[in-house]
Amino acid sequence: MGVFAICLLNGISFGCILFLLASGLSLTLGLMGILNLAHGALYMVGAFVGWTIASHLGFSFWIAALSAGCVAGVIGLIMERGFLRHLNRLPNEQVLLTIGFVYIITNVCLWIWGSIAKPPYTAKFLSGAFTVVGWPYPFSRVAIIVVGLSVAFGLWWLQDKTRIGAMIRAGMDDREMTKGLGINLELTAAALFFVGAFLAGFAGVIGAQLIGANVGLGLDILLLALIVVVIGGMGSVQGSLIGAMMIGLVDAFGKILFPELAMFMLYFLMVIVLVIKPTGLLGRKV
Amino acid sequence: MSSSTSLQTQKPLAGTRSASAAPYVIAAALLLVFPLVLPSYYLSVLTMILIFGLFAMSLNIIFGHTGLNSLGHGAFFGMAGYITGIAIVTYGIRSFWTSAPLGILGAAITAAVFGIIALRVSGVYFLLVTFALGQLLWSIAEKWYSVTMGRSGFVGIPAPDLGLSLLNLGSPLRYYYFVFVVFAICYYLMSRLHESPFGNALLGIRERESRMRALGYNVWLYKYIAYIVAGMFAGVSGILYAHFNGSIAPSHLGFATSALVMLMVILGGAGTLWGPALGAALIVLIQSLASLVVPARWPMILGILFVIGVMGFRGGIGPHVIKTARRMFSSGSNQS
């Protein structure tokens, strides 16, 4: 029973990190039609910047998380305004461009932070643990769950209940008509991309509490985020949340039940979803 | 007046082949004679160019001609290479005539399985799924140590043994000519495929899938067969690479290889037959120069190449070359 509860919490907390990451990817893909494969690299930048600020320089963890998000957001903004803006509706070109950025960002990170992995770090007040059914459980993981679910709620509210969300959705459905209604789509797109990239960097710091930071992270974490997007469907917050939770839980329980096969179970899940519903569980049609 | 080779419509393909055999004869002659005077390092670069040229052309069958953007093409390249490694190193099968067909068959089976999964979706989703499937193979190769030798992969794969003492491929020059012959055969086969009714159907699917469906074509089956054929040609290049490099590792199956070959195709010009080979030549050349001068910064240079290639040469350098060549030809004929 105790193991089950721990596993459940582990799965949910890892799922929350994946959600923070995948939601940005899914929103830029589903609502702007931009596939940003550098999203994982932005996560990695966030993890490194966060490590420098929180662990190396000793500032507050939350300052680290916010500033890492801003650094990633600015990089994302440069990518969008400088390059991706000119590649509207050219998915192959977007893919290659963002792969190029993966290489550049990874190499710069290697240059600055070196190839030695940074250990997981957390805020001082989150370093304790409490007891779940007789087992100690770290506060930091609970904090991850709280942050993840609050961001999920905030994004859902922004997407479904606000004027900005309506503008973004309208822009994806009918670009010309939305522009004709006098909505500044360029500004909306830039803002959305900034938010997506910010979330990636922010997730980097939140996730570093579990997995630290290393230069291979950009691709490893991207793969998980892509599987989440394929499963949950692109362009909806709820889809990303469901996909991320499924992957998080399958990963956590898989590691306990079938340690050898944990990685393959994720793919297995993806294949099953593709067979049943190719557009993902809650995808918007693109 | 040569018709402008607009990339959106991409119709120059038929014209380029029927134009003249001269460019092919010249290219073949250069590739046959040039290696005799090349220093050994550049001979190996040239061998790499042919191998990756073949690999890039194989991706082009589905990417350029059919419009399926696969980011998992390294899977077939690496799969065939791995089967070569397993056959030779683990089981001691020396004969090339056994190990190579096994490798190609392995690539074809992989493509047949992946195709069933990936072809359920299209567009960006297809790219995501092929990417994930390629990474699946990569993680199997890394984890399944008893079969794949884990992270280090197979080392010590010898030159192919053709079973004829006359055709000993031990020296780099001899192996180069072997690669050249295989490349030429595959090029011929791919050009025939491209001109066949099957190839035209693929172009039709790329341009207007719904119309092809309305005309009664089984679009899914065409895509599926193209995917398998592309996987088999990628397998051929993977086998050549495993023998050339002497080793095969998980990275050959995964993202790095798949992204690199995609860059070759886009940089060279998706849709033209030989453009991808040109893109491969360019990337391999730059890579070999960069690895001599600044090995630690090669990934960054590669990244910048991706950015420049996408922003500056969208549609590829292949079509530019065709246009220039046509202009030269037409001005020459005017003078004579």
Domain ranges of chain A: 2-276
Collect all residues of chain A within an 8 Å Cβ-Cβ radius of residue B125. 230, 278-279
CA distance B76 to B236: 9
If pLDDT is split at 50, 70 and 90, which confidence band does B20 have? low
Q: Is the pLDDT of residue B52 over 50?
A: yes
Burial of B253 (0-12, 13-18, 19+ CB in 10 A): buried
> Span B169-177, mean pLDDT?
84
Q: What is the pLDDT of residue B331?
A: 59
| Binary contact (A101, B117; C-beta < 8 A) | no
Smallest Cα distance from A60 to chain B, Å = 33
Specify the DSSP element, H or E, that contains A132: strand A129-132
In angstroms, rounded to a whole number, what is the distance separating the alpha carbons of residues A7 and B240?
47
> Among partner residues B135, B255, B306, which is closest to A96 by beta-carbon distance?
B306
Nearest of B186, B47, B287 to residue A103 by alpha carbon: B287
The residue type at A17:
I
- Is residue A233 pLDDT above 90, yes or no? no
Nearest C-alpha neighbor of B65 from the set B177, B256, B202: B202
SS3 label, residue B161 = strand
The two tokens of residue A1 are: 């029973």
Do the chains contact at B125 and A279, CB–CB below 8 Å? Answer: yes
Rounded to the nearest angstrom, the minimum Cα separation between B310 and chain A is 6
Task: Give me the total of CB pairs closer than 8 Å, taking one residue from chain A and one from chain B.
Answer: 111
Q: How close A61 gets to chain B, by Cα (Å)?
A: 31
* Residues in B touching A225 (Cβ below 8 Å): none
CA A27 to CA A234: how far, in whole Å? 7
Task: Determine whether the interchain pair A226/B300 forms a contact, defined as Cβ–Cβ distance below 8 Å.
Answer: no
Between B156 and B84, the higher pLDDT residue: B84
Contact B132 A270 (CB under 8 A): yes
Q: What's the one-letter identity of residue A10? A: N
Q: Identify the H or E element spanning A136.
A: strand A135-138
Asked if B306 and A100 come within 8 Å (Cβ–Cβ), the reply is yes
The reported pLDDT for the residue numbered B17 is 47
- Which residues in chain B touch residue A97, judged by CB atoms under 8 angstroms apart? 306-307, 310-311
Q: Closest Cα of chain B to A79: distance in Å?
A: 11
CATH architecture of A2-276: Orthogonal Bundle (1.10)
Helix runs in chain A, H state only: 2-32, 39-50, 61-82, 91-113, 139-161, 163-173, 175-180, 185-211, 217-232, 237-257, 262-276
| pLDDT at residue B5, as a whole number | 38
Provide the CB-side half-sphere exposure for A49 (13 A, CA): 27
Which residues of chain A approach chain B closer than 8 Å at the C-beta? 29, 35, 83, 86-87, 90-93, 95-97, 99-108, 219, 223, 226-227, 229-230, 234, 260, 263-264, 267, 270-271, 274-275, 278-279, 286
The pLDDT tens digits for A154-211 are 998 988 888 888 888 888 778 788 888 888 888 888 888 999 999 999 999 998 888 8
Q: Is B13-331 CATH 1.25.40?
A: no
B307-324 pLDDT, tens digit per residue, is 888 887 766 777 777 777
Inter-chain touch B69–A95, beta carbons under 8 Å: yes
CB B84 within 8 A of CB B248: yes
The pLDDT of A137-147, averaged and rounded, is: 87
With 70 as the cut, is the pLDDT of residue B19 above it? no
Residue A284, phi then psi, degrees to nearest 5: -80, 145
Quote the Cα angle for A17-A247-A51, to 5°: 25
Question: For residue B298, what pLDDT is reported?
Answer: 82
For B115, the enclosing helix (H) or strand (E) is: helix B96-118
Which of residues A257 and B270 earns the better pLDDT score? A257
Instruction: Kindly indicate the confidence band of residue A267, based on its pLDDT and cuts at 50, 70 and 90.
Output: confident
Considering only CB atoms, which chain B residues are within 8 Å of A91? 69, 123-124, 127
By Cβ distance, the residue of B121, B139, B140 closest to A274 is: B121
Which residue is closest to B257 within chain A, CA to CA?
A: A99
Q: B307 vs A35: CB contact, 8 Å cut-off?
A: no
ipTM: 0.78
pLDDT in the model for residue B213: 87
Amino acid making up residue A149: L
Q: Which of A199, A195, A65, A69 is nearest to A126 (CA)?
A: A65
Residue ranges covered by each domain of chain B: 13-331
Write out the two tokens for A39: 């999203």
Q: Which residue has the higher pLDDT, B35 or B110?
A: B110
Our CA-based measurement puts residue A238 at a distance from the nearest CA of chain B, in whole angstroms, of 19
- Mean pLDDT along residues A44-58: 89
Q: Which of B132, B300, B306 sits opposite A267 (nearest CB)?
A: B132
d(CA A139, CA A127): 6
User: pLDDT value at position A68?
Assistant: 92
Write the DSSP assignment of B208-239 as a string of letters: -HHHHHHTT--HHHHHHHHHHHHHHHHHHHHH
In the three-class reduction of DSSP (H, G, I as helix; E, B as strand; rest coil), residue B314 is classed as coil
Look at residue A140 in the predicted model and tell me its pLDDT.
83
pLDDT band, very low/low/confident/very high, at A243 (cuts 50, 70, 90):
very high
Q: Which of B144, B169, B143 is nearest to B157 (CA)?
A: B169
Full DSSP string of B68-101: ---S-THHHHHHHHHHHHIIIIIT---BHHHHHH
Residue A237 vs residues A151, A260, B304: alpha-carbon distances, Å:
10, 32, 33
**Which residue of chain A comes nearest to B131, CA vs CA?**
A223
Return the DSSP state at A281.
Answer: T
Q: Does the pLDDT at position B15 exceed 60?
A: no
Report the pLDDT value the prediction gives residue B3, as an integer from 0 to 100. 40
Both structure tokens of B327: 């202009």
Residue of chain A minimizing CA distance to B255: A219
**pLDDT above 60 (res B229):** yes
